[in-house]
Amino acid sequence: MATSEARRRSPQGSWTSRLAFILALSGAAVGLGNVWKFPYIAGENGGGAFVLVYLVCVFGVGLPIMMSEILIGRRGRRNPVATMGLLGEEESGNKNWYLVGLLGVGGSFIILSYYSVVAGWAVAYIFQGGSGAFSGASPEQIGDIFGGLTGNWVTSAFWHTLFMGMTVFVVVRGVVKGLERAVRTLMPVLLGLLLLLLGYSIVEGNFVEGLLFMFAPRFGDLTPTGVLTALGHAFFTLSVGMGAVMAYGAYVPDDVSIGTTSVIVVCMDTGIALITGLVIFPIVFANGLDPAEGPGLIFVTLPLAFGNIPGGTIVGTIFFLLLTFAAWTSAISLIEPVVAWINEHRGVSRRAAAIGVGAAIWALGLLSVLSFNVLADLNLGWGTYFDSADFLTSNITLPAGGFAIAVFAGWIMSRRSTAGELRLANPTAYRLWRFASRFVAPLAVILIFLNAIGVLAWLGLTG
């Protein structure tokens, strides 16, 4: 419960119901991470055993951090920077916790600058698929389509611009008329399309082989690096550690249960990732293609399959429409914390903030566009701008934010504050949450870090 009357509502407004919040948070969570990244990293890491570890990470580490992030957001009722400063002062007399909020806002800004470019490719593929470009195409031809899109900066920039425009269009309209209305339409459609594709895969794909690939654990295929990939992806896919969940948490009505909604959202995100795998792999197997294709799985391997299956043109178009919707609702959640911050901190109107922030992210995104052509040889430390931005956010700012949030909720905030905000009916559930927040989550992040800076490899623990 917020501590003072002035803190009962965020200046941005609030979700009109629990369902709206569930849809918004699921929309934030379900994105390129589920449809593009999860299937290919599962494919690269042997399938079943990876899926098992991923489930442990999502529920053991991701879920408690998501609860912490929502509870902090709702208690502060401001943008993530102001909220962290406010609660830091309140709980420990130290305002400097605002830096954690700033890390999140900065991270969201950078993630969107490359996320939007990949999302733009998805939009382009709706049209490619719809025009029958995949139909009967050879692997070389599909490679040329993808290469033509990423290699030509003007084309790629066009789709990136369109996607950023779509994102700003929604965010300008505010929490209820923009965000909530968008997720209320897009999320049910997304679910419907996914089930349609699942039905198709069951009937037309090699479903049994796909099922076995995803769920029969072959532990021999799982490396320690694979375990860490699963852990890192648990953060990314749930959108935690970035302030996005905190921003959405600020709009949650007081009577909504944080525990129950978090469990629903995590199940939804995980379910959608698993179903996506069950859509993709049976199609990949039925066409004798390689599940361990890597990042090109969706943009190269899958279109090849779409080109050779009955009804492939329509199935392919639906698939990329789904990918676009998933990315769109996530992009909205990435820009929202930045817009809320500029609006509340600088007193700029929400509309101007959304347009200004959108333009700035768009401009930075051009570096991502150029990373595949003109600036492909530019090395910013971890490869191109695109690769460096992905590495920096996925492996550094996201886990660091998650660590700080877990530590703040588990160690800095009083038991009274967290128990009062979570109001879990079951005392064991509270104890479990607190244990995970204090010990499991921070330790898990330390492992990701050690891996990222190569310490584990140096100790001979990872390959």
Task: Write out the residues near ligand PHE by the rule CB under 6 A.
Answer: 28-29, 31-34, 111, 236-237, 239, 242, 244, 330, 333-334
Q: Which residue is closest to ligand PHE by CB?
A: 33
Q: Which is nearer to ligand PHE, 79 or 313 (CB)?
A: 79
Task: Copy the structure tokens of residue 433.
Answer: 């949450």
Nearest to 235 by CA among 117, 66, 107: 66
Nearest approach in angstroms of CB 225 to ligand PHE is 20
CB of 269 to ligand PHE, least distance (A): 7
Give the relative orientation of helices 63-76 and 224-238 as an angle to the nearest 10 degrees: 30
* Smallest gap from residue 236 Cβ to ligand PHE (A): 5
Contact present, 339 and 357 (Cβ < 8 Å): yes
How many helices and strands in the chain, by DSSP H and E? 23, 0
The token pair at 199 is 């039905």
Q: CA 67 from chain center: how many Å?
A: 16
Phi/psi for 222 (5° steps) reads: -95, 120
Nearest to 119 by CA among 317, 383, 354, 325: 325
Output 153 or 391, the one with its CB closest to ligand PHE.
391
- Rounded Cα distance between 378 and 376, Å, is 6
- What is the crossing angle of helices 258-286 and 181-204, to 10°? 40
CB of 424 to ligand PHE, least distance (A): 25
DSSP type of residue 297: G
Nearest distance, CB of residue 29 and ligand PHE, angstroms: 5
Give the nearer residue to ligand PHE in terms of CB position, either 239 or 395: 239
Best CA proximity match to 103, nearest among 379, 405, 381, 332: 405
Beta strands in 301-439 (DSSP E): none
* 340, two tokens: 């809320």
| CB-nearer residue toward ligand PHE: 240 or 407 | 240
**What's the closest the beta carbon of residue 350 comes to ligand PHE, in angstroms?**
19
Q: Report the C-alpha dihedral over residues 101, 66, 194, 276, rounded to 10 degrees.
A: 100
Minimum distance from residue 273 beta carbon to ligand PHE (Å): 8
**Nearer CB in complex with ligand PHE: 31/307:** 31
- Least distance in Å: CB of 325 to ligand PHE? 12
364 in Cβ contact with 197 (< 8 Å)? no
Of the pair 111, 392, the CB lying nearest ligand PHE is at 111
Q: Are 238 and 66 in contact (CB under 8 A)?
A: yes
| Minimum separation from the CB atom of position 287 to ligand PHE (A) | 26
**Whose Cβ is closer to ligand PHE: residue 270's or residue 313's?**
270
Nearer to ligand PHE (CB atom), residue 33 or residue 205:
33
Task: For residue 46, give the DSSP letter.
Answer: T
> Is residue 56 within 8 Å of residue 232, measured between CB atoms?
no
- Between 273 and 424, whose beta carbon lies closer to ligand PHE? 273
